[in-house]
Structure 1
Amino acid sequence: MNLKNKNEYGFLLDMDGVLYRGKELIEGAHEFINTLLDRDIRFLFLTNNSSPTPKDLKVKLKKYGLEVEERHFYTCAMATVDFLSLNKPESTAYVIGEGGILTALYEAGYGITSNDPDYVIVAEGRTLNYESLEMAQNMILKGAHLIATNLDETCPTEGGYRPGCGALVASLEKATGKKAYSVGKPSPFMMRAARKKLNLKTAQTIMIGDTMETDIKGAVELGFNSILVLSGNTSDLDLIHYPYKPRFVYKNLGGINLNELFDELDRDIRYVDEETE
């Protein structure tokens, strides 16, 4: 097998709509991920779902037949903790959310409190009540900073959809007049942090996703190479509605030939190098 990867490209991959849809693994996903593992190509799965931990996600993908490690995941919950660590270490937070965000905060040593927190963090969860929104509103009005793990307005479920983190954040923004800072895709913070975790340069980074508003928009704004797969939320007919475009479009992961992809990217890099000499 020809193992071309001369410029050491690496991948950031969305999950739902790229690897699987519902309970079904998408065509080509198993072979693509195994090829990355076999060829020791760096990659991270990026998800705007703050509820699962990396261990949860590892177990989930194993059920689809994908054997990966916890180090291969970077969630918006993890990115939120990284954001806090850079901006205000040892701070406190009031959290609307559960699971992954609470675990990430506890493991990083952050205090979770309802007594004058530094931050109000809104994440995914199914235990929201009006009292928690009221408490969060008053904390923000007293000076707590509003942080969103992501701004996805809806979340897919087996029975349809439920309001996403972005819908909850919008209600607090309206009630307080304060704008939230969002950490998840397409935020430059999360996507740049993911690139740095893989020790990749901008030109070496390839984002694969199925959603134009998050995966592709974030990649375009940061100068990453971008691949849209049509196995999820976006069809090829949808592309006319966006002022930005992905670098490549494939039906699914099975349509990506890595050697051909790397060759084309190498040609782009050589062209840029020649133009700047």
Structure 2
Amino acid sequence: MLPGYLIDMDGVIYRGTDLIEGAVDFINELKKRDLPFIFLTNNSQRTRRDVVTKLSRMGITVGEEHIFTCAMATARFLAQSKPNGTAYVIGEGGLLHALHRNGYSIVDHDPDYVVVGEGRSMNFEMIEAAVRMIENGAKLIATNMDPNCPTQNGLRPGCGAIVAMLEAATKKKAFSVGKPSPVMMRSARQELGISSAQTTMIGDTMETDILGGVEMGYRSVLVLSGGTALGDLDYYAYQPDLVVDSIADLNKEEFFQLEGARFPKMERLLA
């Protein structure tokens, strides 16, 4: 039973435009060992091809099959729930592309769903239109509920912040498909063709990456190179199986020998 890896990107592989040391070596080692892996992101703006190009420019060579976005998870979920449906979209290219690929039409009135993703092109007129559509019966779907997104210039409002405004205005709750939703976590595992017992989630955020892994019964690794500090763990009722400073700490034989079993105590790889 070879393991497979779901790997978050921002905070794990890179920060903004800066590659995190050890990321290239770790991915190359996975490829060398022929271990299945997929990058898992709650960013719905980019298509698979866009993400592959970004990684390539950083020195990480992967194919589109190694990318799984919340936009893809959302589009597939909607296609299963209501094939050939319609959507009013607050979002950008990655989300629009995923919906089209899964048989959805983008409309500006009477949609089956109002679908919200990340983006900077949103304006208040779009919010007003979405509110009226939800009031008229459209279901509210969030690609994720992240309240903010890190950028080189600091935080900007994320998908969750936009969704919160719509929820407050309509008194209707959104259904979120992105991490930590089991919908996305399960779909990504199925992409790899492995079982839950074989799956390891590597991420930097307790509320999405680690929570999603814990709820699905996956092994979970928290890296401290992103948005979580070691002291923050005291505030959570759930815990990762392993905590390391960065992904570079995983590129060692001790980690790869943990195949097919639960991780030992954290101190083994932290020592």
Unaligned runs of 5+ in 2: 264-271
What does residue range 18-33 of structure 1 map to in structure 2 within 5 Å? Answer: 18-33=12-27
Provide the residue aligned with 2:172 in structure 1. Answer: 178
Which amino acid in structure 1 is aligned with residue 126 of structure 2? S
Does residue 134 of the first structure (1) align with residue 122 of the second (2)? Answer: no
Provide the residue aligned with 2:227 in structure 1. Answer: 233
Report the TM-score, using the length of structure 1 for normalisation: 0.92
Provide, for residues 170-224 of structure 1, a one-character-per-residue CA deviation record: whole Å limited to 9, x for no partner. Answer: 0000111100000000011000110111111111000000000000000001100
| Aligned-residue CA RMSD (Å) | 1.3
Quote the Cα distance in structure 1 between the aligned partners of 2:43 and 2:260.
33
Q: CA deviation at 1:260?
A: 2.1
Provide the residue aligned with 1:13 in structure 2. Answer: 7
SS at match of 1:134: helix
Does residue 254 of the first structure (1) align with residue 248 of the second (2)? Answer: yes
SS at match of 2:194: coil
SS at match of 2:150: strand
Provide the residue aligned with 2:182 in structure 1. Answer: 188
Quote the Cα distance in structure 2 between the aligned partners of 1:41 and 1:207.
14
Q: CA deviation at 1:108?
A: 2.1
Does structure 1 retain, via aligned residues, the 8 Å contact 2:3–2:260?
A: no
Closer, same or farther: CA 75–152 of 1 in aligned 2, 3 Å: same
Does residue 199 of the first structure (1) align with residue 193 of the second (2)? Answer: yes
Within the candidate set 73, 81, 87, 1:87 is matched to: 81
Quote the Cα distance in structure 1 between the aligned partners of 2:253 and 2:103.
44
Which amino acid in structure 2 is aligned with residue 170 of structure 1? A
Q: CA deviation at 1:267?
A: 4.8
Q: CA deviation at 1:266?
A: 3.8
Report the TM-score, using the length of structure 2 for normalisation: 0.94
Q: CA deviation at 1:257?
A: 4.4
Quote the Cα distance in structure 2 between the aligned partners of 1:31 and 1:264.
19
What does residue range 112-131 of structure 1 map to in structure 2 within 5 Å? Answer: 112-131=106-125
Quote the Cα distance in structure 1 between the aligned partners of 2:157 and 2:49.
25
Percent identical residues: 57
Quote the Cα distance in structure 1 between the aligned partners of 2:20 and 2:260.
28
Which amino acid in structure 2 is aligned with residue 112 of structure 1? I
Within the candidate set 41, 46, 51, 2:35 is matched to: 41
Which amino acid in structure 1 is aligned with residue 212 of structure 2? G
Size of the aligned set, in residue pairs, is 263
Closer, same or farther: CA 268–46 of 1 in aligned 2, 3 Å: closer
Closer, same or farther: CA 256–177 of 1 in aligned 2, 3 Å: same
SS at match of 2:257: helix
Provide the residue aligned with 2:63 in structure 1. Answer: 69
Quote the Cα distance in structure 1 between the aligned partners of 2:85 and 2:38.
28
Does residue 155 of the first structure (1) align with residue 149 of the second (2)? Answer: yes
Does structure 1 retain, via aligned residues, the 8 Å contact 2:79–2:104?
A: no
